[in-house]
A and B are shown apart, each in its own frame.
Chain A
Amino acid sequence: DAGVIQSPRHEVTEMGQEVTLRCKPISGHNSLFWYRQTMMRGLELLIYFNNNVPIDDSGMPEDRFSAKMPNASFSTLKIQPSEPRDSAVYFCASSFRGRGAFFGQGTRLTVV
């Protein structure tokens, strides 16, 4: 199994631009999480899906952030417009029930 695959690994963009982060979960997993990690705030849950349905998006900072999961093998996290304070490492993770979540390698986003 290839594990959770995230793209891109690194993204540098200018303030105001749209950013799209992508995630392919492990096949057969039915939960998908998006996290953001910064030195100041640690690991924050943004949103999670069960069976492609968003269950809890209370961690999404504001309307500039949106996430979709059109099918069991793909999810996106979009930021529009991006701001410098959005700079962070964004992780996608997937799990099957309670067997622990497996993380992708993360996307390091820098907004200048």
Chain B
Amino acid sequence: AQTVTQSQPEMSVQEAETVTLSCTYDTSESDYYLFWYKQPPSRQMILVIRQEAYKQQNATENRFSVNFQKAAKSFSLKISDSQLGDAAMYFCAYRSVALNSYGGSQGNLIFGKGTKLSVKP
């Protein structure tokens, strides 16, 4: 079974600075998807960024980028120019890409325990 581990329960960053959140995962599959989700105090789960394992290029979405190291099974999130609105829980997630007989993705969406990010003004 796949597992996702976020080893940093809490992180803090100064406004305008850069912070990196860590995520590691365990899988025997060669193809899969990885995601970072943000959950602000409003509790809404927001998809931040997505990475396909077969793509070597790291995904980027504005101030958010990932460092995907497939061999190390590592998927870290870098937030540049941190803003007060970035304060939230951040969850790393994994999903298998294999299709089942129903035409949908084989595996469920597995989450890490989350990292609480604080942004200091």
A residues in contact (CB < 8 Å) with B: 30-31, 33, 37, 42-43, 45, 48, 50-51, 53, 55-56, 89, 91, 93, 95, 97-103, 105-106
Contacts and interface: CB of A to CB of B under 8 A. Distances in A.
Contact of A50 (B44, B46, B95, B104): B104
Contacts of A102: 47
Contacts of A98: 33, 52, 95, 97, 105
B56 interface: no
Interface residues of B, number: 25
Interface string B95-115: 101011011110011110110
B101 to A, nearest CB: 9
Contact of A30 (B50, B52, B103, B109): B103
B21 to A, nearest CB: 16
B91 A43 contact: yes
Given A100-B33, A101-B47, A106-B43, A95 B105 contact: yes
A50 B47 contact: no
A51 B33 CA distance: 20
A55 B102 contact: yes
Interface of B: 33, 35, 37, 43-47, 50, 52, 91, 95, 97, 99-100, 102-105, 108-111, 113-114
Given A100-B47, A105-B44, 18 more contacts: A30-B104, A33-B108, A42-B114, A45-B111, A50-B102, A50-B104, A53-B102, A89-B43, A93-B109, A98-B52, A98-B95, A98-B97, A99-B50, A101-B35, A101-B47, A103-B37, A106-B43, A106-B45
A93 B100 CA distance: 19
Nearest to B42: A105
Nearest to B97: A98
Contacts of A106: 43-45
A78 B89 CA distance: 28
Given A43-B91, A89-B43, A95-B109, A100 B35 contact: yes
A100 B102 contact: no
Nearest to A45: B108
